[in-house]
Structure 1
Amino acid sequence: MDIKWLEDFLSLVQTRNFSRSAQERSVTQSALSRRIQALEAWVGADLVDRSTYPLALTPAGKLFSASASEAMRLLNDTRAMLRGQETDDHILRVSAGHALSLNFFPDWLGSVQSWYGPLRARILPTNVHDSVLSLVEGNCDLLLCYHHAELPVELDAKRFEYLVLGVETVMPVTVPNRAGSPTFALPGSKARPIPHLTYTATSFFGRVVQRIQSRAAQPACLETCYESDLAELLKTMALAGRGLAWLPESCIASELGEGKLVRSGGEQWTMRLEIRLFRAINHRKPMLDKLWENFDNGKRSTDPVE
């Protein structure tokens, strides 16, 4: 049984509406429905009467609701006590995507420590959806993520604020040929499609690449030969000469500088993303407040990157 199922169920008890609870829990309505069904399977009884509007709890649901509320109260109280013992107030908990965790976070943390002093930090690398959910549910202090006007991170401006720490360019790269030109040059041709090292369609970078291709003046002739959610794995395959991959510049800075990888195609095949740092406005602890006030390299912004 996943603790998130209990939190989903208790939200549903309050709203009596799947759509509103899904919005509150930052998940799709279908995902919320699947979680409630999984909880009912674990309990062994229907908890929600879906035939009424607004929906109602079954007798089993009313009984379980009281137990679930008490269980969550005990768990949260115990967690708060244990975190206090572990001096969690002195640990900066940051949730971020894998690419930012590996390629941006270490240098950024070093720059923060240069003026703040010794700082104990805990990075939680995960996918975009789970990292956003971690911030919403209070499981991290800061969310480090990419943002673009066409691919926004949707967080309630009344509950969350952000700083822009920088800009990242996602670009197509490949190994060079003997003349130093890209081995696989965009846009390719139908006769000789370019082997494409691609992201899964539902991943953040997968959606970035889809937008880049939809913007291009001419279609790219690509043939998927390898797929992964992780930019680092696609970089490894690109360095082995297996094909072309769209990668964030911070991931390949050294390889570009050494000539091991070269850009394929012009600016039309790239996209610039903001690197944003989010925090919950009501989440307060002295260390976090001091850090937020002194992020010299960041700035509040509402201007989208195009």
Structure 2
Amino acid sequence: MDIKWLEDFLSLTQTRNFSRSAQERNVTQSALSRRIRALEAWVGADLVDRSTYPLVLTPAGKLFSSSATDAMRLLNDARSLLRIESKDENMLSISAGHTLSLNFLPKWLGAIEARHGQLRTRVLPANVHDSVLSLVEGNCDLLLCYYHSDLPIELDPARFEFINLGGEIVMPVSIPKRSGFAAFPLPGNRLAPTSHLAYTAGSFFARVVERIVARVDQPCFLSNTYESDLAELLKTMALSGLGLAWLPESCIKRELNEGKLVAAGGEQWNMTMEIRLFRALDNRKPALQRLWDMLKQP
């Protein structure tokens, strides 16, 4: 049982509306519905009466709501106590997406340490939603994430600040043919759609690809043949010749240089993302302040 299921359910008990709870939990409505179904399967009973509007809890749901509230209170109290007892003022915890954790963060930390000495860091790889939530709830000191004005990270500027660490191009790639051109080119055609190694619906990079395709003034014909949340896994599938995939350039730099992957379309199919580092303004950890002051220096 995933603790997020309890948080989803308790949100639903307050809003009595799947759409509003989905917005509150920053997930799609279909994802929220799947998680509530999973919780019901774990409990072994229907918790929500979906035949009414606004929805109501079943008798089992009312009983479970009380238990879930108590369980979350006890868990949060224990977490708060453990944070106080195990707090290390010299350790910086960084929550970051899987791609940034693998391809950007190690080199960035290495460059920082080469200039200013060793840092004690703990890296917490997670999806975008969980990374943002980790910062908001005080579970990490820093949030490293991609940012684009079309896909903003909604953090209150009165509570959080950021530094721009650079940029990253997300581009479609494919193995090459003998001619050197992409084996799976864009935009494809109606009779023979291009095999597409896609990101799972609702994931951050899935939204990136949706925005790219929507803004290109040209029909695009794709056939999703494989889906995953992980860019590294889609890269492996692309290298196996199973289709094209939109991937961050840092993830495929070596493969592009070696000619194992090539661009599957022109620059109109690319999107340049910012790489941002966020912190909470009320986090007074000395090690964090020293790092932030250093990063803000010209």
TM-score (norm 1): 0.77
Q: Secondary structure at the match of 2:252?
A: helix
Instruction: Give yes or no for the alignment of 1:295 onto 2:295.
Output: yes
Query: Kindly tell me: are residues 27 and 289 of structure 1, through their superposed partners in 2, closer, same or farther at Cα, counting changes over 3 Å?
Result: farther
Match of 1:171 in 2: 171
Are 2:78 and 1:75 aligned?
A: yes
Equivalent AA in structure 1 for residue 234 of structure 2: L
Q: Provide Cα deviations, 1:6-49, integer angstroms capped at 9, x if missing partner.
A: 88899999xx76799987776789959x77xx69x97x9x9xxx
How many Å separate the matches in 2 of 1:215 and 1:253?
Answer: 25
**Conserved? CA contact 1:135–1:143, under 8 Å:** yes
- Which position in structure 2 is the counterpart of 1:120? 120
Q: Which residue of 2 aligns with 1:221?
A: 221
* SS of alignment partner, residue 133 of structure 1: helix
Is the 1:10–1:68 contact (alpha carbons within 8 Å) kept by the matching residues of 2?
no
* 1:10–1:69 contact (8 Å) kept in structure 2: no
RMSD, aligned α-carbons: 3.8
Alpha-carbon offset, residue 3 of structure 1: 6.2
Q: Alignment partner of 1:179: what SS? A: coil
Asked if the contact 2:28–2:202 (Cα under 8 Å) also holds between the matched residues in 1, the reply is: no
Q: Secondary structure at the match of 1:151?
A: coil
Amino acid at match of 1:147: Y
| Aligned residue number for residue 270 of structure 2 | 270
Query: What is the identity, as a one-letter code, of the residue corresponding to 1:208?
Result: V
The alignment partner of 1:82 has SS state of: helix
Aligned partner of 1:302 in structure 2 is: none
2:59 corresponding residue in structure 1: none
Residues 1:192 and 1:72: Cα distance change in structure 2 (over 3 Å) = closer
Instruction: Please identify, of 185-194 and 149-158, the stretch whose mean Cα deviation from structure 2 is larger.
Output: 185-194
1:137 corresponds to which residue?
A: 137
2:284 counterpart residue number: 284
**Residues 1-306 of structure 1 aligned to structure 2 (within 5 Å):** 31=32, 71=74, 74-84=77-87, 87=88, 89-295=89-295
Aligned partner of 2:179: which letter? A
Q: Which runs of 5+ in 2 are unaligned?
A: 48-52, 54-61
| Counterpart-to-counterpart distance in 2, 1:12 and 1:187 | 41
Report the Cα offset of residue 297 of structure 1. 8.1
- Give, as a single letter, the amino acid of the residue that structure 1 aligns with 2:197: L
Aligned equivalents of 2:106, 2:153: Cα separation in 1: 23
Gaps of 5+ in 1: 52-58, 299-306
Contact 2:10–2:69 (Cα < 8 Å) also in 1: no
Q: Aligned partners of 1:220, 1:110: CA distance in 2, in Å?
A: 41
Contact persistence 1:197–1:238 (CA under 8 A): yes
Range moving further from structure 2, 177-186 or 153-162: 177-186
The alpha-carbon distance between structure 1 residues 132 and 262, as it changes in their structure 2 partners (threshold 3 A), is same
- Distance in structure 2 (CA, Å) of the matches to 1:188 and 1:94: 40
Q: Aligned equivalents of 1:65 and 1:218: distance in 2?
A: 50
Distance 2:232 2:90 in 1: 31
Letter in 2 for 1:119: L
